[in-house]
Amino acid sequence: MTPLDNGAIAERLETLAALLDLAGASYYSVRAYRRAAELVRATPAPVAELVRGGRVRALRGIGPAIEARLVELVETGRLAEIDELEAEVQPELVALGRLVGLGPQRMVDLGRSLQIRTAADLREAAEAGRLRTVAGIGPATEAKIQAALARPRVSPRQSLLLNRAWQLVGGIAESLGGVAAGDPRRWRDASERLAVVVPSDDPNEVVERFAALPEIVTIVEREKHRALGVTVEGIPVELVVAAPARFGTELLRATGSDEYVASLGELADAPDEAGVYAALGLPYLPPELRERPFAGAPPALLEQRAIRGDLHVHTTWSDGKASVLEMGRAARELGYDYIAICDHTRNVRVVPGLDADDVRRQGEEIAAANDELAPFRILRGSECDILADGTLDLPDDVLGELDWVQASVHAGQRQSRGQLTMRTLEAVRHPAVRSISHPQGRIINHRPPNAVDLEAVFAACAENGTAVETNGLPDRIDLSAELVRDAINAGVPVTCSTDAHSVRGLGNMRLAVATARRGWATADDILNTRPLPEILRR
């Protein structure tokens, strides 16, 4: 048996989670396996060795049930439960159903009624008018199915968050020796087009390997140099196989938006993207900026290595998973000079929050951690709630003691535009507030942005020297790229922060940085590219 690496183990856990979801398992069980997969993928040590040594429970989040699955997987190379569930829930049909907008059970029933097992079967049944012979399928549903099969894309309401999109296409690209493309390579905050481009002179062999991947449960389209596979969640993933001499051409085509690629005209064949741009007489444009037509020279965009610290992290004092010292040590290992501990205040209510006494006691713990980690510096901070009347959730004397205060709206987000704007402006003008956290207050695919007047907020921030944040939590990405650009144009400093609630969450800095880059940010536009003395002087 070939030993399983961390990526292969994670893929099996993700498959199990998806099948459990289809079989109607509890939300918490499904989430536990998905989180375990993320943990395994991110663990630097070989997880198989930890399993064999009986030490896998040392990984935070691995309990006895998941440990038992890992032992079975490492010892046998398989999970019997996956085989059983695949026979029970027919993942190919479920994937097709989700792709065309039918529920899992409805699609399985449809498949049984019309002997449909593949996309070709479903397409033929639709073209022959046989779908309407099944109860509940009328002309409108039939038309919807045909349209979805003709142009398979993720619907906006099903769009994948950045971390999930990268995990999916990145894993497939790594398995096939290719490069992730589509929306994730442009770092869109919610991805609808997912693609992988593979250089090869043997396209049939690559397509066969693609179809056999555990992530791909059915093939919807297949051509000589292209295929479209679908995951069990109904997510279509495009595969492009390019001859090495035109790999750059196909990668550029599969990365840029349709509008951007069309604006370039005919693309010359080249083995890399730089060669394509040279043939067009254009400077190389980073993927993040290939959203709309652009013909000029791009700025020197922010690089992640320029980030000197993270100004928004949480600990076990509120709803974090790691201590002050653990977060500080992890940040130092990333090469940072500083972090700011910004735990919640009491008004959040749905999670533990700190009052004035808690903040001062936490300060003692931060001082002790700084003694151990010096010259690295942990800043005393707070993510202080903005109350309904615009006042802050900590007394002014406590706020005045802190190194870094950022203010946030967590309650009353359905207030009117005038009320939300008033609250935010009051916080911007408070002498202790250094930044406004996640100013939109949105949760992607779940909660729309707050009705706050950001133009007025940016003007006040510029006047008062208050920063705004682009938050790297995958379901926030707040500010969005467009609003990062608006803030920069208004003269407002921007922070790239993670809102990390765990050591692993510090890795979300790449999402914040990529979002800033999509907003045309340079290192000079980002506050936390600056040395600590400059941060503390502001």
For the stretch 270-279, pLDDT in tens is: 999 999 999 9
Q: Determine contact, residues 85/21, Cβ cutoff 8 Å.
A: no
Task: Specify the pairing of strand 194-199 against strand 236-242.
Answer: parallel
Q: Which residue type sits at 427?
A: A
The pLDDT assigned to 2 comes to 58
pLDDT above 90: residue 447: no
The pLDDT assigned to 359 comes to 97
The pLDDT assigned to 498 comes to 97
pLDDT above 60: residue 446: yes
Instruction: Taking the CA atoms of 198, 511, 187 and 38 in sequence, report the sign of the dihedral they define.
Output: positive
Q: Determine contact, residues 390/425, Cβ cutoff 8 Å.
A: yes
Rounded CA-CA distance 495/519 in Å is 13
pLDDT above 70: residue 434: yes
Q: Which residue has the higher pLDDT, 445 or 431?
A: 431
Helices 162-176 and 509-518 sit at what angle, rounded to 10 degrees? 100
Q: Which of 346-360, 419-433, 444-458 has the highest mean pLDDT?
A: 419-433
pLDDT above 90: residue 121: no
Give residue 117's pLDDT band: very low, low, confident or very high (50, 70, 90). Answer: confident
The pLDDT assigned to 344 comes to 95
In Å, the largest CA–CA distance within the chain is: 75
Per-residue pLDDT tens digits for 232-264: 788 899 999 999 999 999 999 999 999 999 999
Q: What is the DSSP letter of 63?
A: -
Give residue 363's pLDDT band: very low, low, confident or very high (50, 70, 90). Answer: very high
Per-residue pLDDT tens digits for 72-99: 999 998 899 888 887 777 777 878 888 8
Q: What is the DSSP letter of 366?
A: H
pLDDT above 90: residue 196: yes
Residue 530 is encoded by which pair of tokens?
A: 């600056």
Residue 133 is encoded by which pair of tokens?
A: 């012979």
Per-residue pLDDT tens digits for 132-170: 888 878 888 888 888 888 777 776 667 888 988 998 999
The pLDDT assigned to 59 comes to 85
The pLDDT assigned to 516 comes to 98
Per-residue pLDDT tens digits for 380-399: 999 999 999 999 999 999 99
Give residue 371's pLDDT band: very low, low, confident or very high (50, 70, 90). Answer: very high
Does the N-terminal peptide bond of residue 162 adopt cis geometry, omega within 30 degrees of 0?
A: no
φ, ψ of residue 536 in degrees (nearest 5): -75, -20
Q: Which residue has the higher pLDDT, 39 or 528?
A: 528
Q: Which residue type sits at 135?
A: A
Q: What percentage of the chain has pLDDT greater than the value 90?
A: 64
Q: Which of 180-189, 344-353, 412-421 has the highest mean pLDDT?
A: 180-189
The pLDDT assigned to 271 comes to 98
The pLDDT assigned to 205 comes to 97
Q: Determine contact, residues 471/477, Cβ cutoff 8 Å.
A: yes
Name the strands in the sheet holding 226-230, side by side, starting at the edge strand that comes first in the sequence. 179-181, 194-199, 236-242, 226-230, 218-222
Mean pLDDT computed over every residue of the chain: 91
Q: Determine contact, residues 267/249, Cβ cutoff 8 Å.
A: yes
pLDDT above 60: residue 421: yes
Average pLDDT over residues 345-368: 93
Rounded CA-CA distance 523/515 in Å is 13
pTM of the shown model: 0.83
Average pLDDT over residues 412-438: 94
The pLDDT assigned to 155 comes to 67
The pLDDT assigned to 536 comes to 92
pLDDT above 80: residue 341: yes
3 state DSSP class of 389: coil
Average pLDDT over residues 466-489: 96
